[in-house]
Amino acid sequence: METMVGDIGVVVVEALRAACYKESTIGNYQKSIRWLALLARKHDGVYTPALGAEFASMTTSPRTGRFSVQRRFDYGRLVTVFDSYVLTGRVSLVMRNRGGGMEVPQCADFVSVGNAWSGEMERRGLAAATCNSYGRAAREYFLFLEASGITTLEAADGTTVFGYLESLRGRWAPSALWTVVSNFRPFLTFVQRQDLLDALTMARARRWHQLVPVLAESEEQLVVGACTSGDVPARDAAITLLALVTGLRACDIIALRLTDIDWRSSTLGIVQQKTGNPLTLPLPAVVLVKLAEYVLGDRPVSDIENVFLRSLAPHLALADHASIYAITRRTFRAAGVTDTKAGTRMLRHHAASKLLRAGTPLPTISAILGHSSPDSTNVYLSSDTEQMRACVLPMPAGTRR
């Protein structure tokens, strides 16, 4: 196995080309390799993980003298690839998070409680997205306590809950703090701290029920037309149509597997990521055709079970909700619909509203959308103007206008 920076660099570049990376991306890797080779001269050109760690820490731009996010990403990415080769003898091209490492608490008590909470969530079988949200709320609370000089959960009192929520106001919109509260409450219940739960209730973070707009019929026709006419790639068209017609959540579109599609019966069957409930939905012909076009013609060759993969190498499953939003936004722009925020939340709301206007009972809509509680569907009543007008009582005779 090669140990010289230059020799490892040759192996890495060959692996990148074999994985069909763009030449511009390969060029960025080669640039980082050259800088790493210069640093390695003091070690006779030999690469070690310690040298890689030193290289990854060089995040200050010599041109500006300031911290460079791009340098941190490029150098950290290269070191990850080099380390994988040194440790395993092969080049791993697993994607890294551009945001860098996640800050974690250091106090032993917080680490222990955090691990216990992670184990409890796993035991309950919570969805991965739910575990991430619940875990993040607890982790950020621990970090706030450490910054305040508190090293054990036992030493925390109700005022720390107020301080924690206040510390988030610079990063979270007021309308989003309710999400933090709802993600934080299960953890406090788990550790049986009623005093902290009482403080969380006293914080009175309220949920904002924003009215989500729906597409006009003309806009919907433009989007469907762009998807069916070939104006957008088959993958993007299939994803947009799935969200538009079925109201699937972004996480369920990402997790959709090839085996979930029953081509003969034109249905898909999944276990929802958020609720863990099974769901079977019919696939209209317009959606099925685009799915088949993508799977048979455009989908990269891969052993990954997910239906939708990255179009650029490495051809992995889509990463997160932001990937779906970027795809639907591109599709809407190609269709000429630019005044609408084309996220899956809006498309999900649109699908539910169409069902409601067609006279579909709320329990049926709830089942189609995969709501864990039928009450969650009531928010869509706000978009059915005609039925809401039918509920208005006439003014009594003689009432002043």
Backbone angles phi, psi at 269, to 5 degrees: -130, 125
Q: According to the model, what pLDDT value does residue 99 have?
A: 46
Q: How many other CB atoms are found less than 10 A from the CB of residue 240?
A: 30
Write down the CATH number for the domain with range 108-202: 1.10.150
Give the closest residue to 9 by CA, choosing from 44, 42, 46, 43. 46
**Do the beta carbons of residue 245 and residue 266 sit within 8 Å?**
no
Q: What's the CA gap between 102 and 387, in Å, rounded?
A: 48
Exposure string over 60-79, b if 16+ CB within 10 A, otherwise e: eeeeeeeebeebbbbbbbbb
Alpha helices, DSSP H, located in 169-320: 177-190, 194-202, 217-229, 234-246, 250-255, 285-293
Q: According to the model, what pLDDT value does residue 205 have?
A: 66
For every one of its 401 residues, what pLDDT tens digit does the chain have, with 9 covering 90 and above?
A: 678 999 999 999 998 888 888 888 899 999 999 999 999 998 899 999 889 989 988 988 878 888 788 888 889 889 989 988 888 888 887 665 444 445 778 899 999 999 999 999 988 887 777 888 899 999 999 999 998 999 999 999 999 999 998 888 766 666 667 788 889 999 999 999 999 999 988 877 665 555 556 788 888 899 999 999 988 999 999 999 999 988 888 889 999 999 999 999 999 999 888 777 888 888 999 999 999 999 999 999 899 999 999 988 888 898 878 889 899 999 999 999 887 777 777 888 888 878 777 777 777 777 777 665 655 556 555 555 455 444 445 555 555 55
Q: What's the CA gap between 338 and 222, in Å, rounded?
A: 11
Give the closest residue to 35 by CA, choosing from 83, 75, 82, 91. 75
Q: According to the model, what pLDDT value does residue 388 have?
A: 45
Q: According to the model, what pLDDT value does residue 190 have?
A: 96
The CATH class of the 217-385 domain is mainly alpha
The token pair that represents 190 in the structure block: 């788990």
Q: According to the model, what pLDDT value does residue 372 have?
A: 59
Please, which residues bridge with residue 279 across strands? Answer: 270
